[in-house]
Every structure is written in C-alpha cells, then in structure tokens.
Amino acid sequence: MQWFRLVCLAAAAGQLMGSGAAADRVATNPEGNTSTLKLPPVLRRSEPPDSGQITLPAPPPVTPALKKLAPIPPVVKFAPLPGKLVEDAVLRQPVPLPSPLLEIKPEVAAYCQNQIGHWKERDARKLLGEPKRHRPAYDETRAVNGTIYAFSDPTSKYKELELDFDLQSGSLRTVFVYPPRLTWQDCRRLWNGPVAAADAAQGRKFYSYTNRRLDVLVDPAGKVISLGWY
C-alpha cells in the first residue's frame, strides 16, 4: 500500500515538471516553429517580442577643417640712412629759399642790377611772379620808350620793386626800389663818391652818383623816395 502511494506521488511530480517545462518553452519561444511545441492561438502574443539591446555604430570621427592662412607678405627692407640723424633743432629751422631766390635775399636791388641787359619780361615774371601793375617809361622828349612793371619784393626789404624794360630790345635797363626807411644821409654813409644834384618836381631833389650807376630821389624832408640802378 505504501508502495502504491509512492508511485502516485512520483506521477504527480512528473506532471508538474512537464507543465513547468512547457511553460518555459512558451516563454522562450512564443511564436513557435516546426521544431518546438505549438501553442493554441489564445495563448500566443499579439505583439512582436521586444528586440534585444541594439548597439548603434558610433558616428565617424569629425576632423576639424584646416583654416587657410593668408600668405605672409614679404618684409620690406629699407636702405640705411646715410650718416647721423638730423637733430630736432635742425628740423625746426626755416626751409631755405630755393635758388635763385637764395641769391636775391642779401640784396634784391643788386641782384636785379646784375640782370640788366639780360632779363626779359618773362624772366622777371618767372622769378618774381605776376606784376601788380605797369606804366609807360618816357625819354627826355616825353616819348614812350619802354614799360615799367611793379613787383612785390620777395625779401620784404623794400615796399616795392619796379623793373624798366626797353621798348625796342625788350631787355631790362633800369631797376627801381622804394625803401621804407632811408634818408639821404644814410645813402651818403652807404655809398660815397661825387654826386650831381638837380631839382625835381614838388620840391624834391634828384641825386646822381658819378662813380656808380645809382640815382636817388629824395623828398623835401630828406627822406629817400626811390633808388634807381641802371
């Protein structure tokens, strides 16, 4: 009797183990195939099984774009400065007058006197600029024999500078300057020698040096009106 009970327990245990194994097969293979046990439609899942963990491929490595650098310009080489640098004090000095104005600066009347017989009107305009005005020149018979042009003195020593050009040849023949402050006594100290005197209009005096080409026109008070170089 006891043996019969043991047989029954063993059969029941076998059934329980068989049903557990079938349940495990359903869980691992819910869709079933020809090589596994088929489940009735009622017990099958209506949704597809979840996929396992999928490892996506890593993105390709990003290589930073190389920045195109602008070409470096060539270095400019300067020639070395000759000698020592000029000091600031020299740089502050006034710019010297260009030649021939540099030659005029000591004495414009003497410079223009040296041009007598050489200069034409165009030469005077080239150096002194445009004349301020002009007037006719007369001879002893009051006949017009030339033209006198008035220029500004580039040295500012005289109030005005007049150049007399011959009517026939067109050459410079007389230079007149008008000093702002000069007396006849000053002229005698500057230029010595014998002088011929003559009366002029309005009480003026006309002095002519006989040892040099210089005429001086003086007003009644002894102030020099003009110096004439010929």
Per cent of the chain over pLDDT 70 is: 54
Confidence band of 228 (pLDDT split at 50, 70, 90): very high
Q: What is the pLDDT of residue 49?
A: 58
Share of the chain above pLDDT 90, in %: 48
Residue 87 has pLDDT above 90, yes or no: no
Give per-residue pLDDT as tens, 13-62.
555 555 554 444 544 444 444 444 555 655 556 555 555 565 666 666 65
* Extents of the domains making up the chain: 2-36, 101-229
Q: What is the pLDDT of residue 97?
A: 40
| pLDDT at residue 132 tops 50 | yes
Q: What is the pTM of this model?
A: 0.55
Question: Which residue shows structure tokens 């502050």?
Answer: 92
pLDDT-derived band at 111, boundaries 50, 70, 90: confident
**168: exposed, middle or buried (Cβ count in 10 Å: 0-12, 13-18, 19+):** exposed
Tell me what pLDDT residue 92 has: 41
